[in-house]
Structure formats: C-alpha cells, structure tokens
C-alpha cells in the first residue's frame, strides 16, 4: 500500500532511489462553507487520506513526472513552461511556474506521485498535489520557503495555471493540519488558530452522494456575484461596512427591502455562517460536541434554503441522520450540487449507521453509497 508502492514505482521508473518521500493530506471542512471568498472564517482539518510523492533532483532542466493512479507520465522543462495536454500535469507545472515567479532557482526532478484521496469526493486532491510538490521542492532544493509561502504558491498555481478560481482554504488545511485538531482560518487576515477535536468516542464519516451536478461551476460564480452585489448595496446603506464581517443579521434584516430576494438570502446565509463558526469553536473549547453538531445542521439548512447550493441527494443523506441519536451532526460539505456529507457519529454505532444509510440510499436512488471513515491528521510532511 501507500507509500511503499510509490517508492517501488519510483525505483522501477527511474532505476534509482528516491531522495525524499512526502505525504500531503486531503482535507475536510467541518463548518464555514462559502465563507472563504466572503472574508469569513472556515474550520478545515487535514485527514488521513493523502497523496504521496517520491522525488529526486536532477542536474538538468527536465522534469519527469509519473501519476501512479492514472498510470500516466509526462515531461516538461523548467526553462520552457507550457500547458500540458495531460490535465493532471498542469497542477505540478503550475507549482514549478509559481516557485520560479517567486524568484527561486531550481533544477529539474524525477517524480512519482499517487495516493488514496478519493477523487470527486470534495476532499481536495488537487490542493494536496500542489502543496506536496511545493514542500518537496522546498526540501530538495533548500529554498527556505515559509509554510504560508508554500500555501500561497499552491493556490496561485491553481488560480493562474490550472484556471480554477479557488480560495486558500484547501492548500492551507493540507499544509497546516494537526492531529486531533481543526484550524480556524480567518480568510480576511489569514490569521489562524488550532482548536482541539479529539474524538475518543466518535468518528467522522463522509458519505459520497456520487453525484456531481454540472451546474456547480456556473452557480458558484453566480453566488460570488450575488454576494458582491449584496455587499455593495449594504455598504451604500451602512458606510462603515467594508466586508461581511462588519454586518449583523439585524443590519441585513433592516435593509431587506433594498435587496432582491436571492441576494437577501445569500447575505443572511453568509453573515449567519460566519457567526456559526465562532460559536462552534467556543463549543469545542468547552468540549461541547452537541452544540458543535447543532451548528453543522444549521449550516446545512442555510446551504439548502438560503444559499441554494445543496441537491436532493445531499438533503436526503442529511435528513436520514436527523432522528439518529448516534449522529452528533451532519451537513453537506464543499461547493455543493453533489459530493459528500460529513457526519460525526458515535464509534459504537458506526457500523449500524453505515448499514442503515447505505440501505436507505440504495433503496431511494438505486445507487451504492460510497463512504469513508477519516481521522484528523498532521499536515504535509516528509516521511
């Protein structure tokens, strides 16, 4: 299994030993959804599903890269950065491009990477690829990059080279994760704080709806525009308001007549969600898992009704948990319109929970429900 097969494949592919092996984890986000691009808080954690990298430096400008899980290889030169026809390679090329743009000098490398992050489940395999390579190059070429610099390089690679307008949360969680902890990231200042979430009697289970509705990307951009419009109108009414952080629900309510129905609902959701993260973190400090779970349900309800990014399958999965005393909290996770729900479940009842929800999903949608049990783990590291 990983990472042994990555190391073995490297030796087979390049007839030499890897000089470094790196583990870059995927991430979940427990609460704080669609707040990252609205100057809010998010509460992600790194998980024990990861991408592994076996790498060795070269003396020339050539980069030979092999994607283990896709059984696909690519080569490019650091002195002639071009987009690859292999879409997976562009995440790596983008990182090399951003490192050089940051004024760092590197040479080529040989690389094999792969792992057990489930694709399409919304746990951020792309960010793990970016942070893992940035970390590996920082190590083998002794670049002296700070962790936050590597996070920004990963995000910039995805924004500028891959062309995905993501926020900073995914790369941040992959780098700054800590075992048995979540990270509250302030997306306005990039200040962060770890909060304990050790779960001796509970486990975190992801239920993958197996759907990815195609309207996700266009609707995501629409939501961003609706939030910008809401902020512009509210800023006109309240001159001190520069961001959603400066608003209260009362202020939004008082300005309701100035906002279209959709924009009003989006603003209610964002202001409420920023507050929910703060309350959820206070609950963690008190070891109050019940309140934390209640906030997860409130987030789902907001995403379903006010932000309108859920879908029938996700709502079904969450509704199936509401009467189950073994479930502390459940909500859809990620951009929406498909992907996973995240559930905190009592360990002693986890098997029964899985059996019941899989049967219910099969019965309703004639589709097997794929689930993943995950634990909170450290961020990107050399093995």
pLDDT above 90: residue 185: yes
Q: What is the spatial distance between Cα 260 and Cα 269, in angstroms, rounded to a whole number? A: 14
Residue 369 DSSP symbol: P
63-72, 217-226, 323-332: segment of lowest average pLDDT: 217-226
Q: Provide the pLDDT for residue 215.
A: 63
Please give the CATH superfamily to which domain 202-374 belongs.
GHMP kinase, C-terminal domain (3.30.70.890)
Query: What was the pLDDT predicted at 234?
Result: 98
Strands of the 338-346 sheet, one edge to the other: 327-332, 338-346, 202-212, 370-374
The whole-number pLDDT of residue 143 equals 98
Sequence ranges of the domains in the chain:
4-198, 202-374
The CATH number of domain 4-198, selected from 3.40.1190.10, 3.30.450.40, 3.30.230.10, 3.30.70.100:
3.30.230.10
Residue position matching structure tokens 């360990």: 347
**Pairing between β-strand 72-77 and β-strand 62-67 as defined by DSSP bridges:** antiparallel
Contact 106, 137 (CB under 8 A): yes
Residue 243 has pLDDT above 80, yes or no: yes
What are 96-106's pLDDT values in tens digits? 999 999 999 99
Averaged pLDDT score across all residues of the chain: 95
pTM for the full predicted model: 0.92
Confidence of residue 78 (pLDDT cuts 50, 70, 90): very high
State the catalytic residues.
Answer: 170
For residues 300 and 343, give the distance between their C-alpha atoms in angstroms, rounded to a whole number: 12
Where residue 163 falls among pLDDT bands split at 50, 70, 90? confident
258-266: average pLDDT: 98
Calculate the CA 155 to chain-centre distance: 12
- What does the DSSP assignment read for 5-24? HHHHHHHHHHSS--SEEEEE
pLDDT tens digits, 197-233: 989 999 999 999 998 876 667 888 899 999 999 999 9
Rg, C-alpha atoms of the chain: 21
Pairing status of strand 109-115 against strand 62-67: parallel
Q: Looking at residue 220, what is its pLDDT?
A: 84
Residue 351 predicted with pLDDT over 90: yes
Q: What is the largest CA-CA distance in the chain?
A: 69
Mean pLDDT of 344-373: 97
Residue 247: DSSP 8-state: -
- Is residue 107 within 8 A of residue 60, CB to CB? The reply is yes
Instruction: Evaluate if residue 179 carries a pLDDT over 70.
Output: yes
């Amino acid at each position: 299994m990983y990472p042994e097969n990555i190391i073995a494949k490297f030796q087979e592919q390049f007839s030499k030993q890897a000089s470094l092996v790196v583990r870059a984890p995927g991430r979940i986000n427990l609460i704080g959804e669609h707040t990252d691009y609205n100057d809010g808080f998010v509460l992600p954690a790194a998980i024990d599903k990861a991408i592994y990298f076996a790498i060795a430096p070269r003396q020339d400008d050539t980069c030979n890269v092999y994607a283990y899980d896709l059984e696909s290889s690519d080569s490019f030169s650091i002195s002639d950065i071009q987009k690859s026809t292999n879409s997976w390679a562009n995440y790596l090329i983008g990182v090399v491009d951003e490192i050089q743009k940051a004024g760092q000098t590197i040479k080529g490398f040989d690389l094999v990477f792969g792992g057990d992050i489930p694709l399409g489940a919304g746990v951020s395999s792309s960010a793990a690829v970016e942070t893992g390579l940035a970390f590996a190059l920082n190590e083998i070429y002794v670049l002296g990059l700070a962790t936050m610099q590597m996070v920004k390089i990963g995000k910039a690679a995805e924004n500028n080279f891959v062309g995905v307008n993501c926020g900073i949360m995914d790369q941040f969680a992959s780098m700054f994760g800590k075992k048995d902890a979540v990270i509250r990231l302030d997306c306005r200042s990039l200040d962060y704080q770890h909060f304990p979430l050790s779960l001796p009697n509970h486990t975190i289970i992801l239920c993958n709806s197996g759907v990815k509705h195609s309207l996700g990307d266009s609707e995501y951009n629409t939501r961003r525009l609706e939030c910008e419009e809401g902020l512009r109108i509210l800023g006109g009414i309240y001159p001190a308001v520069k961001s959603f952080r400066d608003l209260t629900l009362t202020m939004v309510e008082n300005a309701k007549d100035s906002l279209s129905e959709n924009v009003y609902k989006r603003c209610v959701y964002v202001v409420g969600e920023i507050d929910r993260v703060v309350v959820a973190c206070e609950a963690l400090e008190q070891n109050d898992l019940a309140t934390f779970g209640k906030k997860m349900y409130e987030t789902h309800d907001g995403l379903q009704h006010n932000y309108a990014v859920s879908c029938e399958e996700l709502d079904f999965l969450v509704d199936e948990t509401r009467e189950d005393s073994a479930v502390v909290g459940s909500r859809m996770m990620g951009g929406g319109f498909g992907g996973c729900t995240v559930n905190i479940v009592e360990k002693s009842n986890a098997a029964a929970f899985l059996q019941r929800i899989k049967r219910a999903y099969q019965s309703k949608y004639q589709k097997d429900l794929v689930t993943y049990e995950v634990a909170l783990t450290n961020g990107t590291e050399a093995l």
